[in-house]
Amino acid sequence: MCLLGIISLTLLSSLCHAKPGNRQKICAVKASGSNATDDTPAIRSAFTECGRGGRVVFTPTTYYVNSILNISSLEDVDIDIQGKLLWSTDINYWLNHSVAVGYQNQSTAFILGGNNVRINGHGTGTLDGNGDYWYEWIKKQTNTSNYPGRPHQITFNGLTNSVVKGLNFIRSQMWTMSIIHCGNSVFEDILVNNTGNRVSSSNTDGADTIYSTNLTFKNWTVYNGDDSISFKANSTNIRVLNSHFYNGLGIAIGSIGQYKGRFETIENIRAENIYFSNTLHTFYVKTWTDDQNGYPPNGGGGGLGYAQNMHLKNLTVEGLRGAAFSISQCTRFSGAPGVGNCTNSQFQIRDVDIDGLKGTTKSSRVASLQCSAVKPCTDIELYDVDLEFANGTSAASYLCGNVKENKGWECTGPVCEGGSATGEC
C-alpha cells in the first residue's frame, strides 16, 4: 500500500494504491486539465512511485507535456496509456531543451528506457507532437532537413525484453520514434500519422533503429513524407512484418557511413508481407561517400563497414513513385557542404534479395543501384517481379553501376551518379 502525499493540485502526481490480493502498485497519473499547467511533474512522479514492479496508468484524458521527459531505469513495469499525451507548441523551448539522442547530433523530447517494460495503448492511446506548428516553422528555415534541437517525439533508449503495442503517434515534431541501445523487444499494432493539416510534413520518419538488435515491428501503419522505417548503424536481427506504408520513402537502410573512420554494420534484416501506397521506393539503401564534408547531422562521410543479409518477401505496391529498389552511395542532405566522389564509399552493400514484388508503378525503374567502385555491391537477387504501369505495360528498367554477382535480373543501362538523400539522383 502507498500513502497519498499532501501536495498541491498542480503537482498532484498520482493516485497510488495496491489492488486487494494484488501486490502490484498502481499509479494513475493525475492530469491538470489545462494546457497552462505542465503535466510532466505528475508523470515523473508516477514513474518514481511505480516504475519498478508497478503499473503507471494514463487515464482517458489529455496530458499536457510542456517540458522534457527522461524516464529511465524502469524494471518490470506496465504502462497503460488510455488517453493522449499532447506536446506544447513552444518551439523555442524545445529547440533549447531537447535531449541528445546519442547519434548524428539528433535530439528528443522524451526518453524512455528500462527492462521488461510493457506499454499498451489499446488502440486508442495517443502521443500527439502538435507537429503542424513544426511543419510550418521548418519550411521557413534555411536548414529544413535536420534543424539543431528539433526533437524526435520519443526515444526508446536501453529498452530491453519489452513490448510496445497499440499506440497512435500523431504529427510528430520530427522523427517519430528513435530506438537506440535496445534489444529483444517487439513494437506491434502501431499507427504513425504525420500528415500535416496545413502543410506537408518534413523529416518525420516512422521509426529509426540505432545500435539495437533482436527487434520485431509487426502490424505497423505509417503515413508520412520520409522514411517509413529506417535501420541505421549497428542495427541487427530485425524483422518487419505485415505492415502498411503510405506516401513516404519506403523501408530505408541508413543513412550510414557518416562518421569518418568509424566501422558500422547493418545485418540480418527481414521484411515480409508489406504493402506500399504512393511511396517513393519499397526498399532503399543510402550511404555517405568516403569524402568527409562537414559533420552530422547534415554533413559527414568517410565511414567504414557493411550492410548484408537483407531479405524482403511478398511486397505489394500501388502507385510507386520511383525505383522500387534503390541504392545511393552518394548521400548528401540539404545544406550539406561539398560535393564528393559518388563512387568512393568504403561502406559495402551485399547479400540482398527481394522475392515477390508486385503491383503498380509510375516509374520505369525496377532498380536503380548506384554502388561504390571501391566496394562494389555483390549478391543482389531479384525474383518474381511484376510491376506495371496503369496502362498494363511492364516496368523493365534495371539501372546499375558497380554491381557484381547479380542474380535473377540483368542490368539494362547505366545508373545516374549524383548526390541524393532519397535514393536516386
Active site (catalytic) residues: 226
The DSSP symbol for 148 reads T
Element (H, E) at 116: strand 110-120
Position 307, amino acid? A
Which residue in this structure is represented by grid cell 498494363? Answer: 392
User: Phi, psi at residue 415, to the nearest 5°?
Assistant: -90, 155
The DSSP symbol for 207 reads -
How far CA 279 is from CA of 2, 131, 201, 214, 219, in Å, comes to 51, 21, 14, 26, 18
- Alpha-carbon distance of 338 to 326, in angstroms, equals 23
- Alpha-carbon distance of 328 to 52, in angstroms, equals 45
Contact criterion met (CB below 8 Å) for 118 and 163: yes
Contact criterion met (CB below 8 Å) for 125 and 168: yes
Which residue in this structure is represented by grid cell 557493411? Answer: 306
Question: What is the pairing mode between strands 107-108 and 99-100?
Answer: antiparallel
Give the CA radius of gyration of the chain.
22
Given strand 107-108, what is the order of strands in its sheet? 99-100, 107-108, 151-152
Contact criterion met (CB below 8 Å) for 150 and 92: no
